């Protein structure tokens, strides 16, 4: 059992059990309550009388320290059984609620968690904010100190970001080949939808769709094939950006041959234009390739914004939205952007029920993911689908949220939806589909 090569400072605490009595399959993140250096954090555990320690410490400058080797159990979570199976990490944080950590600590935390997972065969980090899943690492392999003792640790700042941390760690695992690779849709590759399926979809959604649009649909596939990009994903994106080619509420018009809002970087901008539909679609495919791959273009670049993209920063459709992208970059700033594209793609391929066929309980597996608008300012998030489950202590507030799983209600309610953020479940009585 090895230790992380990211460590730059080592002081082994006497507060440890040698060796640990369970294989490592869990990560527990703590806040240290103080913007301390890594030496300062490790120094807190020098005296055996303290009776506490951690495996790793992350100082305010982002440096990582080793306090207890991974082969040994730290005394960190007020739970011997948890500490025997978990790698524990103390993070420098503010001294007051919500005990925020800075960007350097956050970055080191994600890198350290990914390193721990890779070396210990943890293929995916899982967080559901569900105390009842302690020890059920097939469902959830992250735990928090507050579940084992009357403490605020790891503070609401970290606690509310554990789902995000898991997403970023898993992205790193996939990039290194250590993850499972499931659950995400690559932009690069061969299209799964046919031109006829795309035409059928757009006729259903927009019976007045111009013939010129129907005529150009095969170009998505041919242009996509040329660059190794899924043309059906590009078409689904165009449907989203143009309102299914009605251009209602869109920043672009049909005559621009800009079917993806390229160049519309702020409200009121008209965006770029191309002489023909083929060139406009080619530019969109090239722009998607900029996000999805670092490979050279096959055709001459006609996308004027190609050079502004950090190449390969969004290999998956889910990462095209800035809010969901691990690096905080992407095509669009709206929440759930990639999820909206995938919902359209599923409808094109025929794996989603047609509008109007959903049950009144909204409890169909075929119907997710989708987005809801919450109007309540204090909608409770619960650990499971029902009022009999504990509250997590968090609220959604007003906004747009993505639902990835549904459970039926008792007949008088619309049911319950699990949030994509993995923060928990919300009642759909106070949520409206968008």
pTM score above 0.85: no
Span 304-319, mean pLDDT? 90
Let me know if 268 is exposed, middle or buried by CB neighbors in 10 A (0-12, 13-18, 19+). exposed
Range(s) within the chain of domains with CATH label 3.40.80.10: 7-175
- Which one, of 361, 333, 340, 312, lies nearest residue 420 by Cα? 340
Q: What percent of the chain has pLDDT over 70?
A: 91
pLDDT at residue 368 in the model: 62
382: which 2 tokens? 């619960």
Cβ contact 399:374 at 8 Å: yes
Q: The CATH number of 7-175 is which of 3.30.413.10, 3.40.80.10, 2.130.10.10, 3.40.50.1970?
A: 3.40.80.10
Of the listed ranges 154-163, 219-228, 413-422, the one predicted with least confidence? 413-422
pLDDT at 387: 79
Question: Quick one: CATH architecture of 365-433?
Answer: Roll (2.30)
Question: What does the pLDDT look like over 108-145, one tens digit per residue?
Answer: 999 999 999 998 999 999 999 999 999 999 999 999 99
Lowest mean pLDDT of 18-27, 329-338, 395-404, name the range.
395-404
As annotated, the residues of the chain forming the CATH 1.10.530.10 domain(s) are 195-347
User: For residue 429, what pLDDT band results from cuts at 50, 70 and 90?
Assistant: confident
Q: Say which residue, 14 or 416, is predicted with more confidence.
A: 14
Q: What is the mean pLDDT of residues 332-361?
A: 69
pLDDT at 354 over 60: no
Question: Can you give the pLDDT at residue 365?
Answer: 41
Does the pLDDT value for residue 360 go beyond 60? no
Q: What is the pLDDT of residue 361?
A: 35
Residues in Cβ contact with 28 at an 8 Å cutoff, skipping those fewer than 6 apart? 76, 77, 82, 83, 86, 87, 88, 89, 142, 143, 144, 145
| pLDDT score, position 176 | 58
Instruction: Give CATH 2.30.30 domain extents, the chain.
Output: 365-433
Give residue 324's pLDDT. 78
Q: Read off the pLDDT of each residue in 270-288 and give the average, rounded to a whole number.
A: 95
Q: What percent of the chain has pLDDT over 90?
A: 65
Binned at pLDDT 50, 70 and 90, residue 345 comes out as: very high
Query: What pLDDT band is residue 390 in, cutting at 50, 70 and 90?
Result: confident
Query: Which pLDDT score is estimated for 149?
Result: 96
Q: Taking 70 as the threshold, does the pLDDT of residue 179 lie above it?
A: no
CA atoms within 13 A on the CB side of 306: 20
Q: For residue range 36-69, list pLDDT tens digits in order.
A: 999 999 999 999 999 999 999 999 999 999 999 9
Averaged pLDDT of the chain: 87
**CATH value of 195-347 in 1.10.530.10, 1.20.272.10, 3.40.50.720, 3.10.450.50:** 1.10.530.10
List, in order, residues 6 or more apart from 174 with CB less than 8 Å away.
181, 184
Banded model confidence at residue 323, pLDDT cuts 50, 70, 90: confident
d(CA 216, CA 276): 10
| Dist CA 158 CA 143 (whole Å) | 12
Quick one: pLDDT band at residue 404, thresholds 50, 70, 90? confident
Mean pLDDT for 229-241 is 96
- Arithmetic mean of pLDDT, 318-330: 81
pLDDT attached to residue 405: 80
In this model, does residue 356 exceed pLDDT 50? no
With cut-offs at 50, 70 and 90, classify the pLDDT of residue 362: very low
């Amino acid at each position: 059992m090895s230790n992380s090569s990211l460590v730059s400072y080592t002081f082994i605490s006497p507060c440890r059990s040698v060796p640990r009595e369970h294989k490592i399959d869990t990560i527990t993140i703590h806040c240290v309550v103080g913007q301390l250096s890594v030496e300062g954090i490790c120094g807190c555990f020098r005296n055996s009388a303290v009776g506490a320690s951690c495996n790793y410490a992350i100082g305010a400058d982002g440096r990582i320290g080793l306090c207890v080797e991974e082969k040994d159990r730290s005394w960190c979570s007020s739970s011997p059984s948890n500490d025997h199976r978990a790698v524990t990490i103390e993070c420098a944080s503010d001294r007051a609620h919500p005990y925020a950590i800075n960007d350097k600590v956050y970055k080191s935390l994600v890198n350290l968690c990914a390193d721990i997972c890779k070396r210990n065969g943890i293929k995916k980090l899982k967080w559901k904010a569900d105390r009842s899943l302690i020890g059920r690492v097939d469902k959830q392999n992250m735990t928090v100190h507050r579940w084992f003792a009357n403490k605020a640790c790891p503070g609401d700042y970290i606690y509310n970001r554990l789902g995000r941390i898991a997403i970023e760690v898993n992205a790193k695992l996939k990039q290194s080949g250590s993850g499972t690779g499931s659950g995400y849709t690559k932009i690069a590759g061969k299209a799964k939808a046919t031109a006829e399926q795309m035409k059928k979809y757009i006729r259903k959604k927009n019976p007045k769709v111009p013939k010129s649009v129907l005529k150009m649909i095969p170009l998505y596939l041919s242009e996509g094939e040329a660059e190794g990009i899924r043309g059906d994903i590009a078409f689904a994106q165009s449907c989203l950006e143009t309102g299914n080619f009605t251009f209602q509420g869109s920043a672009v018009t049909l005559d621009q041959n800009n079917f993806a809002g390229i160049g519309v970087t702020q409200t009121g901008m008209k965006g770029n234009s191309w002489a023909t539909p083929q060139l406009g679609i080619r530019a969109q495919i090239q722009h998607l390739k900029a996000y999805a791959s670092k490979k050279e273009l096959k055709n001459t670049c006609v996308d004027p914004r190609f050079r502004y993209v950090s190449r390969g920063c969004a290999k998956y459709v889910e990462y095209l939205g800035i809010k969901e992208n691990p690096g905080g970059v992407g095509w669009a700033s709206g929440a759930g952007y990639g999820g909206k594209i995938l919902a359209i793609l599923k409808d094109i391929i025929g794996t989603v029920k047609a509008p109007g066929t959903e049950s009144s309980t909204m409890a169909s597996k075929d119907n997710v993911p989708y987005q809801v608008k919450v109007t309540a300012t204090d909608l409770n998030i619960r650990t499971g689908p029902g009022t009999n489950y504990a509250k997590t202590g968090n609220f959604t507030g007003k906004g747009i949220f993505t639902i990835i799983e549904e459970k039926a209600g008792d007949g008088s309610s619309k049911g319950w939806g699990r949030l994509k953020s993995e923060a928990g479940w919300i009642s759909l009585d106070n949520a409206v589909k968008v």
